[in-house]
Structure 1
Amino acid sequence: MDRNLLDQLQNGDVFGTDGEKIGSVGQVYLDDVTNEPTFVTVKTGLFGAKETFVPLQQAQTTADGVTVPYTKEFVKDAPNVDADGSLTPEEEQRIYEYYSMDYAAADHADRREVVDAPAAGVVETERREVADADSVVVKDESLQVGTERRATGRVRLRKQSYTTTETVEVPVTREEVVVERVAVDPNSAEARDSAADGEVEVTTYEETPVVNKTVEAEKVSLGKRTVQDTETVSEELRHEDVTIDGDTDRDGRLR
């Protein structure tokens, strides 16, 4: 990268999201592939005695240094990693995890930090490279099971009317006229009083069925409910691997 820009970053300050100065830049760590700044250490604490790592992934350079999307207190509480010019993969992963950044182990497992500062306080990284050779691609299938929603049926609720006939036997009573004849003494007072013509009237009654209808009502609703169930899914998976055949030397290495 441009040496003047690197020197400007090295000699600048680090500011937080609220514009407050967090501290001055201590060291700059460069990516070994892109040669771009990856981390800076910020001198904090009393007289700048402590150096804290800050990633530059979302930082913005300014005339006075660099502004990072973090507060001063958040940076000061970062993991305690010695700024000794070397970062192990474990230390680098701790920094990434603290700042909620993705850390791909495959991209960092073969990295080692070396001190080769072209300017004071600048640390560069280099990556161990593997010489090009014949290679094969192996594949490994994995099973991913999800669910999909499909219709299984349709239900309708329809109202219809029909009639039925109900027969009920109802007991009823009625009155009948009964004529009774009883002999009496002709000389009795009762016989003498009824010598004149007369009539007697009797009213008869009977019961007749009276029908009344009563109505009962209920509300019928049509709804759905979800029932949890489990189904077993089986699928064959294809896996590939490699074996190495060839002559070896006395140390067990392939020749």
Structure 2
Amino acid sequence: MITQAQIPAVLDHPVYDASGNKIGEAKHVFVDDETGRPDWVSVKTGFLTGAECFVPIHEATVVEDHLEVPYPKGKVKDAPSVDVDAGGHLSAAEERRLYEYYGIGWEGTQEQGGRSGDDAMTRSEEHMHVGVEQREAGKARLRKYVVTEEVQQTIPVRHEEVVLEREPVTDANRDAALSGPEISEAEHEVTLHAEEPVVETRATPVERVRLSTEEVADEETVRGQVRKERIEADLPDEERGTDR
């Protein structure tokens, strides 16, 4: 919405649609007779024909050096042509036809513009509503593979060694000493034993591993743009200087 103070900045300046397409040049701004609020702007769409199309200015915005309207260029150029009387006014019938073309409720516009006798304006604001949507953030997987490691362990082992024992012949062992021939050859053998490490491996379950998910709460700051309407009052000079 533009104010009366912005009208000079609109006239003879480019008019664009919301997609950035230039529609033409703003030539005339028509205001409501009762509220003084700008209602329509006429846009000259061609240099040769000089045709002017009417577009509602309620939701238009002044962007840098041009006016931006929320209607496509083709919609504006195909608007019905209307006749403006000598006083620069649109008739009620022509205005109704334009409102119907742009899909704007005539009755709702009358209430908003004060045509029903209401002396108050409605100021609206946009509010940002933020929600969440779930998306895939990544994948996790388990993979089992085999590695070989060198390990060592110390264990006790035993072995037998030969001990040569000599004992003199006494009365106690004389009979055993004389049991064989007096002079002969003989041989006696002893088997030695020894322990040695024996290694074998056994697979033993040691743990169970699985993947699961858990939700972790976090916070993110979301930024956006919202539009707010502002209402300005143009007061007579004598009222501006009055102390209250």
Q: TM-score, normalised by structure 1?
A: 0.39
Q: TM-score, normalised by structure 2?
A: 0.41
